[in-house]
Amino acid sequence: MEMWPTTEELENIVQMPHAYLEAKASEYGGTAVHDLEVPTYAGTFTLSASAYGVACVFFPGVEDYDVTERHDKYGFALASWGRQRAIEAGLELMGYMLGEIRHFETPVDLGFLTPFQRDVMGALVSVPYGETITYGELARLAGHPTKARAVGNVMRHNPAPIFVPCHRVVAASGLGGWSGPHGWKEWLLELEAKNR
């Protein structure tokens, strides 16, 4: 796992066109990610990114074992093709944690999920910063109006929280569960409410 580059290293990173990196990744045929530790105001996160975008987000305190386990679950390989995306996403995550970024430009790569899961995640990224939606509303938005319970299950297993903002999905009767550690859902909602 790569540590966050120094300012000097960031300035010297060769900016390869994304199309080139995506072409190299497509030759592999699976999902290959680059892991990067990202120091933020709220702690050090770990991002896994492919040449196409962010694939996984791990909260501060994650163990290497947890990262490896998630990679194994999704059949990820390790490759440098995602380094540029990981750095771009890391810079945005730093800004988000400071309340300066409200919309992520770095895409997410969830091609390893099922079509239903991708429908739900695709609908969720349209929920604006600082707003919330219920599981039932998200099910309707995703085109599966009778599957609110299944949507809740997708939220509990979201591999890329924050970039796919499952913290914005709440139960009709309260906060509800989510894929991140305890206490972070409330913290993220408060951060967004304060910086709207």
- CA gap 160, 59 in Å, rounded: 10
- CA gap 14, 25 in Å, rounded: 17
> Do residues 65 and 117 touch, judged by C-beta distance below 8 A?
no
- CA gap 72, 76 in Å, rounded: 6
Q: Catalytic annotation on 56?
A: no
Residue type, 134: T
Q: How many CA atoms lie within 13 A of 104 on its CB side?
A: 26
Catalytic residue (one of 32, 33, 123, 166): 166
Any idea which residues carry the catalytic annotation? 166
